[in-house]
Amino acid sequence: MPRSPREAHGPSLEGLAGLVIGLLVAYLGAEAGLPGNRHPLHWVLAAVGGGVGYLIGDIIARVKEHRDYSGSFIRRTDERRRPSGFPPRPRRRRR
């Protein structure tokens, strides 16, 4: 009996990578761009950057998953099936 594919539960790898990258980039950008010692503001901006990074990574993961399961965006017909889903008509015999 063939094994069924496992369903993933939890955040995607792309989402987690986006979270880490967004957190680091936003924190370092806030450190470089903000004057003085505004430490709480740095962390708030880093959290926002991490959230935005997670959303972007999750969108990328969903697009990749959609492409994996749907094949192409154009539905190709099979010789045995019509695009509408009805079986083919039986062929008439020539007399």
Mention every residue, 6+ apart, whose C-beta is less than 8 A from residue 42: 27, 30, 31, 34
In three-state secondary structure terms, 53 is helix
- SS3 of 15-35: the string is HHHHHHHHHHHHHHHHHHHCC
Question: Do residues 30 and 42 make contact, with C-beta atoms less than 8 angstroms apart?
Answer: yes
Tell me, what's the pLDDT at 56? 94
Is the entire prediction scored with pTM above 0.85?
no
Q: Band of the pLDDT at 19, cuts 50, 70, 90?
A: very high
Question: Do residues 21 and 55 make contact, with C-beta atoms less than 8 angstroms apart?
Answer: no
Q: In the predicted model, is pLDDT for residue 42 greater than 60?
A: yes
